[in-house]
Amino acid sequence: MYTNNYHNTDLSKLKFLVTGGGGFIGSNIVEYLLNNNAKLVRVLDNFSNGYRENLVEFKSNPSFELIEGDIRDLQTCKDAMIDIDYVTHQAALGSVPRSINDPATTNDVNISGFLNMMIALKESTSVKRMIYAASSSTYGDSKALPKVEDNIGKPLSPYAVTKYVNELYADVFGKTYNTDVIGLRYFNVFGPKQSPNGAYAAVIPLFMQALKDNNAPKINGDGEQTRDFTFVDNAVQANIRGFFAPKTASNQVFNVACGERISVNYLWDSLKNAANSNLEAEYGPERQGDVRDSLADISKAEKLMSYKPQFTVREGLKITWDYFVKHT
């Protein structure tokens, strides 16, 4: 999938750590790095949330290495960073509903686990920079559109609290220990390797599974809530550009999105067209902790990281649907 090139640096001399590499975004980053001849791509994952099958295609690659471990263990984080040049920290427990049902585990993984990664980074003698997955959920109850990095509201879920705390820790560590970290506030990322399975699956794979099974999906609320849906290649690009961005980007957070505002109803209609289906959705109550509307201002990432989305939502949906049909 990754024919676009987002780096000018020779990756064959560099070693990378991808935490959560068995997950959706993490495994796509692994694919990009290996396809571009990285010297080593080490994955740290405990597979509580990711999938071994996302990594099967890489196992025969001599540059691929897997550590099965948990970021909640500090020594595991330290060991994973040995001899590594760049880290992308994607390991987390996502999902607003999951965090509402089990705030304690979400806190342990997303805050204690992140703190362990920051301590390991602080003590590492080799790592030049760490990228981490922040979240658009940090904007909380702010009604302002588009979303600009410096203007956030109050969190609407335990998950949002954890991702905001990540940003606070990253900022404090940068000022206190001179660590070099960049946070990426992802906006509703979708694409190949995103699972439709489990209680907390995201909306696009759920819609695709519904179309494949010809079972009406449930839409929360009236379906007119909007999101800045972002194809995963754009998220991969932000990580790669983040590794090598100039020092002016250090210890900051960036929106990673398309800058397109799309309703859930429009999304459903687009997927129905891709699938040549007349299936009608069912509508239910609004979901607790959800933001009503979301749209990102991506000018900061464009300016400081040379980020430029290469795929529109429509293009991404077509690629994702074709992959889904082929692989499920």
pLDDT number for residue 191: 94
- pLDDT-based confidence at residue 200 (cuts at 50, 70, 90): low
14-47 b/e with 16+ CB inside 10 Å = b? bbbbbbbbbbbbbbbbbbbbbebebebbbbbbbe
Domain count, the chain: 1
Supply the pLDDT for residue 264: 94
**pLDDT given at position 2:** 61
Which range of residues forms the domain containing residue 175? 11-189+232-258+295-310
Nearest to 43 by CA among 24, 11, 69, 61: 69
> What's the CA gap between 143 and 79, in Å, rounded?
43
Residue 40 lies in a domain: yes
Q: What is the DSSP letter of 204?
A: H
Q: Residue 92 belongs to a domain with what CATH number?
A: 3.40.50.720
Residue pLDDT, tens place only, 172-194 = 999 999 999 999 999 999 999 99
pLDDT > 70? residue 1: no
Within-domain flag for 1: no
Quote the pLDDT of residue 218.
Answer: 93
Work out the percent of the chain whose per-residue pLDDT is above 70.
Answer: 98
> For residue 196, what pLDDT band results from cuts at 50, 70 and 90?
confident
Tell which residue, 124, 107, 169, 133, has the closest CA to residue 26: 133
Catalytic annotation on 159?
yes
pLDDT at residue 289 tops 80: no
CA 249 to mean position of chain CA atoms: 19
Taking residues 302-316, what's their average pLDDT?
A: 95
Does residue 279 lie in a domain region?
no
136 contacts 185 by C-beta, under 8 angstroms:
yes
Residue 291's pLDDT band (cuts 50, 70, 90)? confident
In a domain, 215, yes or no: no
Tracing tokens 């960049």 back to the chain, one arrives at: 182
- DSSP 3-state assignment of 55? coil
Position 47: which residue type?
A: F
The pLDDT, as a whole number, for residue 173 is 98
Tell me if 207 is assigned to some domain: no
**Out of 41-45, 124-128, 194-198, 265-269, least confident range:** 194-198
> Mean pLDDT score of the chain, rounded to an integer?
94
pLDDT of residue 87: 99
pLDDT over threshold 80, residue 28: yes
Residue 222 lies inside a defined structural domain of this protein: no
Question: Residue 186 burial (CB < 10 Å; 0-12/13-18/19+)?
Answer: buried
**Separation CA 62–CA 71 (nearest Å):** 24
Catalytic residue among 159, 164, 186, 307: 159
Least confident of 8-12, 133-137, 250-254, 273-277: 273-277
Classify residue 284: in a domain, yes or no: no
Task: Provide mean pLDDT across the span 206-215.
Answer: 93
The dihedral region occupied by 289, where left means phi > 0, alpha psi between -120 and 50, and beta the remainder, is: left
Q: What is the mean pLDDT of residues 272-291?
A: 88
Q: Is the pLDDT of residue 160 over 80?
A: yes
| 94 or 108, which is more confident | 108
In a domain, 70, yes or no: yes
